[in-house]
Structure 1
Amino acid sequence: MNNFVDETYKRVEQIMNANNLNIKTFEEKVGVSNNSIGTAIRRKASFKSNVLNKILNAFPEVDPAWLLTGKGTMLLKDNNFYSEEPDAVYKNEKLDQLIKTKLIRLLSEDENIKDILLDYIQKEVKNL
């Protein structure tokens, strides 16, 4: 069994530091309730998935795999995905695919999660 310790709060602090944001400003940018991030950091608590999604939406340059696991680097290699250029839709789709691919790869490394994912996929295929 894997002795996983969730230290996502440390990586959230790194994002705040890299962007020179205090907790209040970070919470406003992410769109979460007042002091929810600060409380989680002080308690060294896990973040719910909806908060992690809000963080990734507010900071699209942050590598989701890094945020979840600490593996790799904070920033995506090509941090010019989001843009106002005419090909922005293509770039956003490319980023979405990259995120999905990285998350699937990470999740499939854990045997328990891999089994859960396979069961889920099989149920979904049967419902098609």
Structure 2
Amino acid sequence: MGDFVDETYKRVEEIINYKRLNIRSFEEIIQVSNNSIGTAIRRKSSFKSNVLNKILNSFPEINPTWLLTGKGEMSLAISGEPPLVYDISDIDSRIKDNLLHLLQEDEEVQEVIAVKVSEVLKK
């Protein structure tokens, strides 16, 4: 078995390029100090686990196995695994629709609302 060579710096650079970011904006997104990522890439250094965790937390679509080992695909979505980020842009609309449906269709809910409305009107 050969010696392990840590080349996570190459994969981090690949993420930066894939996301079309510069090193500074990448550092801001993952919340690390200025020039820490750029310096590590230039020196071909390994990253501490806290930096790798920040990358994975900031970019949940990145495959952790790929980042750590280079095996598999960069993106979880490409590898067939479900995405870790969900579109909730229409969540308010869906909640309102479900509430309206519940109010219109559920007799028990209608009865409770009728009682509460009559209580309010009696005050």
- TM-score, normalised on structure 1? 0.63
- How far apart, CA to CA, are the structure 1 residues paired with 2:55 and 2:18? 14
Paired letter, 1:34: N
Alignment of 1:1-128 (within 5 A): 1-76=1-76, 77-78=80-81, 80-83=83-86, 85=88
Q: How far 1:82 moved relative to its partner? A: 1.8
Rg comparison, structure with higher value: 2
Counterpart of 2:110 in structure 1 is: none
- How far apart, CA to CA, are the structure 1 residues paired with 2:84 and 2:55? 16
Kindly indicate whether the alpha-carbon contact (under 8 Å) linking 1:16 and 1:26 is maintained by their aligned counterparts in 2: yes
Unaligned runs of 5+ in 1: 86-128
Aligned residues: 85
Q: Percent identity?
A: 67
Unaligned runs of 5+ in 2: 89-123
Paired letter, 1:33: S
Q: How far 1:2 moved relative to its partner? A: 3.8
Other structure's SS at 1:13 match? helix
Runs of 4+ displaced beyond 3 Å: none
Other structure's SS at 2:21 match? coil
- How far apart, CA to CA, are the structure 1 residues paired with 2:42 and 2:26? 15
- TM-score, normalised on structure 2? 0.65
